Amino acid sequence: MPNKEIILQVLRASSIFEEVNDEALSKIATFSHEVSFQPGEIIFAEGDVAEKLYILVEGEVGIEARLSTRPGSVRRGTIESVAPGGVFGWSAILETHLTMGARAISAAKAIAVDGHALHSLLAQDTELCSPVMRKLVDIVSLRLANTRITLAHILSVCSHDLKAPLAAVQSYLQVILGGFVGELNEKQREMLSRSCVRIAEFIEMIDNILDISRFEVGAVEMENLSLPEVVRDSIEMLRPLAEEKKLNFTLDLAQDVPKVKGSATRIKQVVANLVGNAIKFTPSQGEISIKLKEDDGYLRVEVADTGVGISPEELPKIFDDFYRGVAGGTEAKGTGLGLSISKKIIETHGGRIWAESPCPETGRGSKFVFALLKS
Ligand code: ADP
């Protein structure tokens, strides 16, 4: 069969051109050609302008996205795999540069349609444009649906398959540390205690990852809370950590303040995150001060430290999902989710959270503030 005839056949059978008549298909065929890819070959890289729309004829192509969250580390994941008949590179006909990457998983053959030529053909011919765009919306929606399934799968693996064995190890360690299966010497006790702490941190990371998805959905149970009590409770758990690092802790909590409407568990989580970060990013002998003040219609909680501070370039990014700063990179622990979860929590409560660096009062470190409406 002549080459042009094969191209026409592939175009006709593809879902995107399903409703396009033969005359228009013949025009499209004039700027389409056959291409082959070796296994592993990059067809286009993430973020590049996709020049062509591809219809896969043979083999398999993976649609990839960058997954790494740390500067300098490159890690990609396959979001979707395209089978013969499938379309990819659709951003070629949209004016967007938001492409994911495409890589041949096995030896692959495709028909490549020139994006510019197709774009101008569609721009001239509205009758042709609307069925193609309708199909394109279907393809993009399917891609989104697949991404959601992948995300749901990752979350369910995290929540159960990863957490359950960790929780089991944690309880065995607690039994051993409790001295229920025999005496421990000092060295063994210290090593097991450290393992216990690391596992607790690991479980907390998993909880954070799960939280980020749950908070998108919202639904927090609210009650009338005494904020000074909530703040004091959350700090108590962190005091030993601060003492271990020889940090000076000062508390100045206004008493007899009006209650606020909120979830005690969630507000404790925010305070623990802010104070935990202050401990993490402040070198030994530094100072951490926690204040609760009554403002006009609000109660404000301020956590200030004399630590490493945050550069003006980083300041606008620290509340983003998975953002970890330069100082964060040197610390082994952390997912870069603590502040973004805190922001979601405070905003779900109708409040505001922000950071200043250096702390305006001391000219050092940083200050994190959240404000909640009095009830
Ligand atoms: P994580 O602590 O897991 O890295 P967070 O979302 O809690 O994630 O914080 C994001 C980033 O904000 C940190 O990596 C760090 O760069 C910066 N940051 C947060 N709190 C402080 C602080 N008290 N001092 C300096 N930098 C901070």
SS (H, E, C) 174-229: HHHHCCCCCCCCHHHHHHHHHHHHHHHHHHHHHHHHHHHHHHHHCCCCCEEECHHH
User: Tens of pLDDT along 236-273?
Assistant: 878 878 888 899 999 999 988 999 999 888 899 899 99
The pLDDT of residue 23 is above 80: yes
Q: What is the pTM of this model?
A: 0.63
- For ligand 1, atom 8, name the residue with the nearest CA: 336
Question: What is d(CA 271, CA 293) in angstroms, rounded to the nearest whole number?
Answer: 15
Q: Is the CB of 324 within 6 Å of ligand 1?
A: yes
What residue type is assigned to position 34 of the chain?
Answer: E
**Which atom belonging to ligand 1 lies closest to the Cα atom of 308?**
25
User: Tens of pLDDT along 90-148?
Assistant: 777 776 656 788 999 999 999 999 998 998 999 898 888 888 989 888 888 887 887 77
State the pLDDT at residue 273: 92
**Residue 212, CA distances (Å) to 144, 344, 352 in order:** 19, 8, 18
User: Tens of pLDDT along 51-91?
Assistant: 899 999 999 999 888 776 566 666 777 878 899 999 988 77
Element (H, E) at 93: none
User: Tens of pLDDT along 203-214?
Assistant: 887 887 777 666
Instruction: Single out the residue of 351, 342, 343 nearest to residue 372, CA to CA.
Output: 351
User: Tens of pLDDT along 299-308?
Assistant: 999 999 999 9
> What tokens does 283 get?
């070198």
> What tokens does 146 get?
């697949």
**Residue 112, CA distances (Å) to 22, 162, 252 in order:** 18, 42, 67
Question: What is d(CA 191, CA 366) in angstroms, rounded to the nearest whole number?
Answer: 33
Question: Residue 141, CB half-sphere, CA atoms under 13 Å: how many?
Answer: 6
State the pLDDT at residue 213: 64
User: Tens of pLDDT along 314-365?
Assistant: 999 999 887 888 765 545 466 788 898 899 889 988 999 999 999 999 999 9
183 exposure class (CB count in 10 Å sphere: 0-12, 13-18, 19+) = exposed
Q: Is the CB of 310 within 6 Å of ligand 1?
A: yes
The alpha carbon dihedral of 70, 72, 75, 80 has a sign of positive
* Residues 6+ positions from 245 with CB-CB distance below 8 Å: 279, 282, 284
Mean pLDDT of all residues in the chain? 86
State the pLDDT at residue 32: 96
Q: Is the CB of 328 within 6 Å of ligand 1?
A: yes
Ligand 1 centroid to 319 CA: how many Å? 9
> Are 27 and 14 within 8 A, CB to CB?
no
213 C-beta neighbours (distance < 10 Å), count:
14
Ligand 1 centroid to 324 CA: how many Å? 6
Which has the higher per-residue pLDDT, 40 or 157? 40
State the pLDDT at residue 167: 87
Which has the higher per-residue pLDDT, 369 or 93? 369
For domain 3-124, the CATH architecture is Sandwich (2.60)
> Are 223 and 262 within 8 A, CB to CB?
yes
State the pLDDT at residue 217: 44
Q: If you compute the radius of gyration of the chain from its CA atoms, what whole number of angstroms results? A: 28
User: Tens of pLDDT along 55-64?
Assistant: 999 999 998 8
The pLDDT of residue 215 is above 70: no
Q: Is the CB of 334 within 6 Å of ligand 1?
A: yes
Say if domain 223-373 classifies as CATH 3.30.565.10.
yes
